Amino acid sequence: MRDDIDSEELAPGVHRVETVTDGKIHGYHVLEGPTGPVVVDPGYVDAPTTVYEPFLEERGWELSDVGLALVTHSDADHFGGNHELREHSPGVTIAGHAADAHLMENTDRILEERYSMFEPDHGITYEQDVYDWLTGMMGPDESIDLRLRGGETIRVRDRQLRTLHTPGHTAGHLMLYDPAHDLVIGADGFFGRGLYDVDGEYLQPPPYYLYPEYENTISLVESLAPETLSFTHYEVLRGEEIDEFVRESLDFVAEIETLALELVDERGPITLEEAIEGVVDRRGSFGLDLDLAFPLSAHYGDRVDRGELERVEKDGRVAWARP
């Protein structure tokens, strides 16, 4: 196994395979299924051969033995390796939630509908180097064979792990729950106060765009009270570390909602770009500050649904104001 890849058995037959890419932790997972290994997230474009294959070979498997890949959600570093995995294991079944499948299957579509979702109404786009980075993590288009809804089970050794539909970060985000060992494989389900690199520097704020779904996902995991929680971009959390991370995640939600409404009252009508600038002025930079568009739009949209705010137009852009 390469020196820059670490692995850990989180529960019998459940392995975390971890590497650092672009300064960020990527913790992927392999399950010991009844007919061979199951991959949870094929990862970025070449992760099947650079991350998974060394781990599998050390345990007497081949990449071609992978019969099932569960993609937790539609982000490039989670599904970008689908094509390479299929090339090495032509019979693999690639599964993902029905709400995210169409985005995973088409690079142009995800670039337009997810990674450029704030351009039409708000004029907010990433710099070209960010799009180049995202595109570089995705291989050629690959189909999703099995569309899930949440609640399905995957056999691992002598027990069943259950898929959980946990929207917020994306509409079709999935987690895996092992009740026999109090383990949750959390993927990108929630983010504390944001994502950090391995040196502790901010990379981006919590990128959720569905509220209250995101808060409900946090509360669901809290109610399961797992002993072990393995997110993709964080060290494995255990015991009280999980309680603290849940609190941080819920506190950020409450804080950003309060601040979003304060900005409307002080500056409304307020555009999304102005709201982002207002948050950074008060709270400092989160790294990729444009990603504040996700939580801010989520909270503004929820308040519009409640009738507490209304969408208006300001300088040709969507804005929010009190009715």
Q: What is the pLDDT of residues 8-65, one digit of tens each?
A: 999 999 999 999 998 999 999 999 999 999 999 999 999 999 999 999 999 999 999 9
Q: How far apart are CA 189 and CA 168, in angstroms?
A: 7
Q: How far apart are CA 76 and CA 66, in angstroms?
A: 20
pLDDT tens-digit series, residues 67-86: 999 999 999 999 999 999 99
Nearby residues of 43 by Cβ (< 8 Å), 6 or more positions away: 26, 28, 51, 52, 77, 78, 80, 81
pTM given for the model: 0.96
Backbone angles phi, psi at 141, to 5 degrees: -55, 140
pLDDT tens-digit series, residues 221-254: 999 999 999 999 999 999 999 999 999 999 999 9
- With tokens 């089970």, the residue in question is 153
> C-alpha 123: how far from its chain's center?
24
The token duo for 70 is 């569960």
Predicted confidence (pLDDT) at residue 1 exceeds the cutoff of 50:
no
Nearby residues of 67 by Cβ (< 8 Å), 6 or more positions away: 33, 35, 36, 37, 38, 89, 91, 92, 93
pLDDT tens-digit series, residues 141-155: 999 999 999 999 999
Average of per-residue pLDDT values in the chain: 97
